[in-house]
A = this chain, B = another copy of it.
């Protein structure tokens, strides 16, 4: 039943050092005993296992949107979409995570690309997912039979274990990004996946402007009285750009009028929430949109857990640890755990940044810490 796994030997070496036992033939024999019995002593490992603060395996990295888009377009020509491969999704592989398709140790981020008329077949999985659209339109994602339009600026969460498929109803290809908790699910080994129908019904291939989910749940502060319970993930399947944009603009306007509204001067941010409990949209993923007023910079902060950002609009300067980048529309970058990050709008326009992170996981186990670095400002 279990997948055959390569068995890996334990290898121990005697080291000289201030905190290490004196090398000796007896110690060497002890270490051989440990190896035979599949044992590893803490004293040989503690620095890496229990560091003074998080030292991420991941590396800060930026991916250029134009390059991603070009490769995705080429994949559109060469790679079919269909049952088995399931999705024409191309994932970011953090440079120091072993070549695996993991943007960070817990998060998956990919560009997905659908040609005109194509359908991505129905399936469901326990991993939580979302889509975010940096440009383009024409695709509908069909979740539990509910067709949801996708367009620039829209955030579309996809709670685990719901059937979903996509279809491109337009005459142009469309690209967007997918975010999932795949690496976290790999680490905790709690994944389930099922194939669904190959073909959606005609009723599901419609192209409504608003999904049924939005019509039921997309009213501020209101919920259907027929659905009174708290749900672990949001039932609202689309968070539209017009709402997000207005919320960010209002925060900056309120700040200008002298009221508390922003994270710090010039730095507005909204969090996408589950209207049934006011918490994060998904049990494992936090999603937010940030706006830095022209010329403004965020505080420099660090937090446990990791994030992926995508520039939605404008140009920026980003610093993560010792790394600096200039970023433009569509560019993606990752912020590993506990590295200081600072965001700044460049040029004459505001900088809009979509962000997702694993913060709900860490909060759920009381392991989330945030620190603002005064020295770094």
With contacts A20-B85, A41-B90 known, is A78 near B27, CB below 8 A?
A: yes
Within 8 A of B (CB), among A265-301: 269-279, 281, 283-284, 288, 290
Q: Are A304 and B246 in contact (CB under 8 A)?
A: no
Q: Which residues of the partner chain B approach A158 to less than 8 Å between Cβ atoms?
A: none
Q: Are A89 and B251 in contact (CB under 8 A)?
A: no
Q: Which residues of the partner chain B approach A219 to less than 8 Å between Cβ atoms?
A: 220, 243-244, 246-247, 270
Q: Are B224 and A270 in contact (CB under 8 A)?
A: yes
Q: Which of A57, A93, A322 has the most CB of B within 10 A?
A: A93
With contacts A80-B21, A278-B223 known, is A38 near B54, CB below 8 A?
A: no
- When each residue 196-217 of chain A gets 1 if its CB lies under 8 Å from chain B and 0 otherwise, what string results? 0000000000000000100111
Partner among B87, B92, B126, B182 whose Cβ is within 8 Å of the Cβ of A39: B92
Q: Are A190 and B362 in contact (CB under 8 A)?
A: yes
Q: A125 contacts the other chain (Cβ, under 8 Å)?
A: yes
Within 8 A of B (CB), among A35-72: 37-43, 45-46, 49-61, 63-64, 67-68, 71
Partner among B75, B187, B340 whose Cβ is within 8 Å of the Cβ of A1: B340
Q: Are B63 and A8 in contact (CB under 8 A)?
A: no
Given the complex of chains A and B, what is the CA–CA distance between A2 and B336 in angstroms? 9
Given the complex of chains A and B, what is the CA–CA distance between A262 and B220 in angstroms? 18
Partner among B94, B193, B224 whose Cβ is within 8 Å of the Cβ of A261: B224
Given the complex of chains A and B, what is the CA–CA distance between A367 and B100 in angstroms? 23
Q: A361 contacts the other chain (Cβ, under 8 Å)?
A: yes
Copies of this protein in the assembly total: 4
Q: Are B284 and A365 in contact (CB under 8 A)?
A: yes
User: Can you give 10 contacting A-B residue pairs, CB < 8 Å?
Assistant: A1-B321, A2-B55, A8-B95, A10-B93, A26-B78, A42-B91, A220-B243, A220-B275, A222-B273, A223-B273
Q: Which of A56, A189, A364 has the most CB of B within 10 A?
A: A189
Top 8 A-B pairs, shortest CB-CB distance: A19-B84, A43-B85, A40-B101, A225-B269, A189-B337, A364-B364, A5-B96, A190-B304
Per the CB 8 Å criterion, the residue count for chain A at the interface is 162
Q: Which residues of the partner chain B approach A96 to less than 8 Å between Cβ atoms?
A: 5-8
Q: Which residues of the partner chain B approach A172 to less than 8 Å between Cβ atoms?
A: none
A178 CB to nearest chain B CB (Å)? 9
- When each residue 214-237 of chain A gets 1 if its CB lies under 8 Å from chain B and 0 otherwise, what string results? 011111111111101010111010
Given the complex of chains A and B, what is the CA–CA distance between A323 and B193 in angstroms? 26
With contacts A74-B30, A80-B21, A188-B367 known, is A42 near B90, CB below 8 A?
A: yes
With contacts A63-B38, A337-B189 known, is A84 near B226, CB below 8 A?
A: no
Q: Are B278 and A11 in contact (CB under 8 A)?
A: no
Interface pick from A135-143, A252-260, A309-317, A342-350: A252-260
Q: Are B254 and A212 in contact (CB under 8 A)?
A: yes
Q: A338 contacts the other chain (Cβ, under 8 Å)?
A: yes
A105 CB to nearest chain B CB (Å)? 6
